[in-house]
C-alpha cells in the first residue's frame, strides 16, 4: 500500500467520523469540503502515477 492510499483511507475515515459526530464542530462544512478535495486530488495523483494497462 502506498502512502497516498493510506492518506485517502485516513481522509475517508476522518470525513465519516466528522459527518457522524461533528455537528457542533466549528467550520465543519469547510473541513468536509477540504477532505473531499484532498481525496479527489490524491486519487487523481494515484491514477496518473499508475495508469491501468
Q: What's the rounded mean pLDDT across residues 26-39?
A: 88
If one counts every other C-beta atom within 10 angstroms of the C-beta of residue 31, the result is 15
pLDDT of 50 above 80 = no
pLDDT of 1 above 80 = no
Mean pLDDT taken over the chain: 83
Contact 45, 10 (CB under 8 A): no
pLDDT of 53 above 70 = no
| Residues 9-25: tens digit of each pLDDT | 888 998 888 888 878 88
Q: How far apart are CA 4 and CA 19, in angstroms?
A: 22
> Percent of the chain beyond pLDDT 90?
11
Amino acid at each position: 500500500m502506498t502512502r497516498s492510499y493510506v492518506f485517502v483511507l485516513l481522509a475517508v475515515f476522518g470525513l465519516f467520523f466528522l459527518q457522524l459526530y461533528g455537528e457542533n464542530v466549528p467550520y465543519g462544512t469547510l473541513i468536509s469540503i477540504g477532505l473531499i478535495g484532498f481525496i479527489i486530488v490524491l486519487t487523481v495523483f494515484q491514477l496518473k502515477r499508475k495508469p491501468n494497462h
